[in-house]
């Protein structure tokens, strides 16, 4: 299982707001897009069941069927969400035998969605799974339940009933957390003086998120610090190329149009171009392999 | 007038929540897109007039000027919305003589928007129209009223005042529901052993929604059941082709990449490709004619 | 400084709703897009700090890094927003020395964002700036504060704390409003019988907003009125062309596909094509120069 599953619980101040009497918090994530009514229907179903819920959409523009993208976006967001119910639906297996699940985290959240690995990195980031239950009880589903839109018929109702304080065991059988479906989640390959980390997500600015955190960089390159230069070997569809770039504190530390290695705001190593798109400039796509080495000798202490 | 106008009222549990004291529910739909401020301004105008309103966006990405798409999206959504006010704006005639209207449905909802056919399929799905009024009273409009953005100046204020319990007759003259503008709404052509139904909407996954409901299929092909195979003749811009496909319960009942005929979660016949785009695979666009026949003899009972 | 900074305060009825006890109003604008979690995280951070806030998204689809677009969208929206806190983030300089600021307007709003000119046109439209403070106090920021996502770590928390009635002086040093960064904001060139005004924004319908208000037209062409015809000289990338078009009250006053000069719903001169895209038809992009002259003699009085 991946490093991210073992993350310590991170709870910025914004999330510590489960004060008594506060409106229950529900976040939503899906790959439904914003043109079709699906995401709006999920919101409406939740409000219809739990009128006091405070709803926040994380994203409904996850790439279609891209479970790993959805898992990464949710992993990124959850430390900044108030303790509450988080429903996520990227669900190519809808209507098959895959389970619907609710997972309770150590931080006190409930994660709701399909048992396809989508929820687990986020659960790890919230301290790990305390218990999990299948979503089986028709009392907490819309009837008739469709075979193609469990976001509406199963997951949104479950989220709303959880927000209204129905306990997870009311939804169905307990599940062994170790039996839940785990994603193929790429990890950094950390060696002395070498860090391999494929691209795992290209954000809307064209920044390339790598399968490595800043801690992995300092593990591979002891004494590494901002301002040091690295070689990035990129095996893109257009061939292999090597860039020299600075590990900088912020985009703006290099000139516009210049490539830079930064730590993004989630602690993740990211290839970027100041005011530009690294993905477009270097032909990088998800799963493109990237390898980092030092551009010079380690800095003297 | 189309079948959908005569639909019986469908009210999933989620919608039966007009409990006294609950925050009034307002949904929004438009073709304004999410880059321009128009949709956000509508939301803000509503909140400014009725601070307690519980707002849910159904979609603001309806194709520009596509009244029929907007009508279909609203038709799909309304059974899952709490009883409330639903404002919809796809309005190429803004600033001309077309009326603004509020329509009260048998279920107890108010539909607000232009009198161009956009609201009527949804009204039919909510039990039909009890009464309709023109939106004329300047007391419930922003001043000065523009000629180009009635979403902001007429429809959002009307929705907010309705949510705040201003009765529909306060907005203007009563209208005869039979005089409201009716859309050209394609219907299935049902014959013994043959079902003609053009494509009417391509969703974000590339699923092709047809102008036929599952009931139309069983009417054309008595005894039809899931697992049976059909021939679909498609007259696309790229020429005519015939597919053999299974009428399946869910996308996942066929292998990835395989075409399938499903009933979508709104009861509508849909051409799909498991984990792919049927529209792209077969060059289907809205209004492409599709005809279904049986691929073999009817199943024996 | 541009005309818009000196606008008189416009406060439609919808905005006059700061009644005691009402939920505090917070609007959001950014160039973060809807696929990445950034906008959702900002919403969640605000709700986590001020659970009662009434949130409205104006747009998160401002073109990437397009400060002027963001400023124009915010300028368009603010008169229609309830008095409240408006947080805007188009911030290519994040992590550099640029300040984060809160600006209090004469209408009673707080504008929150980077000191790069984004907020000032909107502040002008709300009566001008009463006072401004730097966002420095770590007590009102998330810790650790990233160098790449101040929307999450600085601006959203500031907006939430302002909504919760923390006064602006608590955030940091007072700033001289005259020292804030001012955008290069294009203005109309008004001469007797001639009006020069570049394109400044192309909306989602393809309407071309010009750097001129309707008042500029009547100043350049005394006695101008709807129905009169003008020549529009357009210097697009495809060469220079001249259109003859009517200054009309609404899109629908000309036939579909016909070009028309209208006053948009914000008082701005706009080149449009009824039910079509003027930008596509005439190859107009932001900054394309447009010059208007009369197509005939002034109308007789």
pLDDT tens digits, one per residue of C20-65: 568 999 999 999 999 999 999 999 999 999 999 999 999 999 999 9
Contact call for C47 and A56, based on CB within 8 A: yes
Compute the count of residue pairs across chains A and C with CB atoms less than 8 Å apart.
Answer: 114
The yes/no answer to whether this complex scores an ipTM above 0.95 is: no
- Neighbors of chain C with 3 or more C-beta pairs under 8 Å: A, B
Positions of chain A with pLDDT lower than 50, given as ranges: 1-11, 13-14, 16-17
Q: How far apart are CA A284 and CA A208, in angstroms?
A: 8
CA distance B88 to chain A (A): 13
Chain C residues near residue B34 by CB distance under 8 angstroms:
34, 59-61
Retrieve residue B258's tokens: 């395989």
The Cβ-side half-sphere exposure at C9, using a 13 Å CA radius, reads: 15
Classify burial at A9, counting beta carbons within 10 Å of its beta carbon; exposed 0-12, middle 13-18, buried 19 or more.
middle
Contact list, B249 vs chain A (CB under 8 Å) = 95, 147
In the prediction, which pLDDT does A8 show? Answer: 42
**Eight-class DSSP state of B167:** -
Contact C15 B48 (CB under 8 A): yes
Closest CA to B125 of A155, A37, A154, A49: A37
* DSSP assignment string, A100-155: EEEEEETTS-EEEEESSSTTHHHHHHTT-EEEEEE---GGGS-SSPPSS-HIIIII
Q: Which residues of B touch A (CB under 8 A)?
A: 12-17, 19, 22-23, 25, 27, 29, 34, 54, 56-63, 73-74, 76-77, 80-82, 203-205, 249-253, 262-265, 275
Residues of chain C in contact with residue A74, where contact means CB-CB under 8 angstroms, are 37
Tens-digit pLDDT profile for residues C71-91: 999 999 999 999 999 999 999
Contact residues, chain A, for B54 at CB < 8 Å: 47, 51
Under-50 pLDDT residues of chain B: 1-11, 13-14, 16-17
State what percent of residues in chain A have pLDDT above 90: 87
Mean pLDDT of C239-259: 93
Name which of A35, A142, A147 is nearest B14 (Cβ-Cβ): A142
Q: In what order do the strands lie in the sheet with C229-236?
A: C189-191, C194-196, C290-294, C229-236, C239-248, C259-263, C268-273, C208-213, C199-202
- From the list A34, A51, A142, the residue facing B12 with the nearest CB is A142
**Distance separating alpha carbons of residues A232 and A245, to the nearest angstrom:** 7
Residue A59 pairs in a beta bridge with A29
Given B14, B252, B263, which is nearest A48 (Cβ)?
A: B14
What does each C-alpha distance from B92 to B118, B138, C168, C255 come to in angstroms? 11, 22, 44, 12
**pLDDT number for residue A205:** 95
| Cβ within 8 Å of residue B249, ≥6 positions away | A95, A147, B226, B262
Measured in angstroms, the CA of B174 and the nearest CA of chain A are apart by: 30
Q: Which positions in chain A touch C65 (Cβ < 8 Å)?
A: 275
What pLDDT does B297 receive?
80
Q: pLDDT band at residue C299, thresholds of 50, 70 and 90?
A: low
Neighbours of C283 (CB within 10 A): 14
* Cβ–Cβ gap A80/C35 under 8 Å: no
- d(CA C33, nearest CA chain A) in Å: 7
Instruction: Spell out the residues 6+ positions from residue C182 whose beta carbon is closer than 8 angstroms to its own.
Output: C1, C117, C120
Q: Are strands C189-191 and C229-236 parallel, antiparallel or unpaired?
A: unpaired
Q: Residue A260: which of A223, A228, A238 has the closest Cα?
A: A228
Q: Of A183, A159, A180, give the one whose Cα is nearest residue A171.
A: A159
* Residues of chain B neighbouring A92 (CB-CB closer than 8 A): 251-252, 275
pTM of the shown model = 0.93
Cα–Cα distance list, C114 to A141, B90, C142, C180 (Å): 45, 35, 16, 10
| Tokens 């696929």, residue located | C35
**Mutation site, B252, B254, B264, interface A, largest A CB count within 10 A:** B252
Residue of chain B nearest A141, judged by CA positions: B13
Q: Cβ–Cβ of B44/C14 closer than 8 Å?
A: yes
């Amino acid at each position: 299982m991946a490093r991210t599953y073992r993350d310590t619980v991170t709870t910025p101040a914004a999330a510590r707001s489960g004060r008594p009497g506060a409106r229950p918090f529900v976040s939503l994530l899906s790959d439904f897009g914003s043109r079709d009514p699906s995401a709006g229907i999920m919101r409406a179903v939740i409000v219809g069941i739990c009128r006091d819920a405070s709803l926040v959409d994380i994203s409904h523009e996850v790439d279609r069927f891209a479970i790993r993208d959805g898992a990464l976006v949710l992993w990124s967001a959850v430390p900044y969400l108030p303790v509450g119910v988080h429903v996520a639906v990227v669900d190519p297996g809808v209507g098959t035998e895959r389970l619907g699940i609710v997972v309770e985290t150590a931080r006190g959240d409930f994660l709701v969605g399909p048992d396809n690995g989508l929820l687990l990195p986020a659960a790890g980031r919230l301290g790990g799974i305390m218990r999990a239950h299948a979503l089986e009880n028709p009392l907490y589903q819309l009837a008739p339940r469709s075979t193609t839109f469990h976001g509406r018929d199963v997951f949104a109702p479950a989220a709303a009933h959880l927000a209204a304080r129905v306990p997870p065991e009311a939804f169905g059988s307990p599940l062994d957390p170790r039996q839940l479906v785990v994603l193929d989640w790429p990890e950094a390959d950390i060696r002395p003086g070498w860090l391999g980390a494929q691209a795992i997500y290209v954000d809307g600015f064209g920044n390339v998120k790598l399968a490595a955190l800043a801690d992995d960089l300092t593990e591979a390159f002891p004494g590494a610090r901002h301002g040091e230069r690295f070689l990035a070997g990129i095996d893109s569809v257009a061939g292999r190329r090597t860039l020299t770039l600075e590990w900088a504190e912020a985009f703006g530390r290099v000139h516009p149009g210049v490539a830079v290695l930064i730590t993004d705001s989630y602690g993740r190593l990211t290839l970027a171009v100041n005011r530009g798109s690294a993905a477009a400039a270097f032909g990088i796509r998800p799963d493109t392999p990237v390898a980092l080495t030092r551009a010079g000798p380690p800095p003297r202490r």
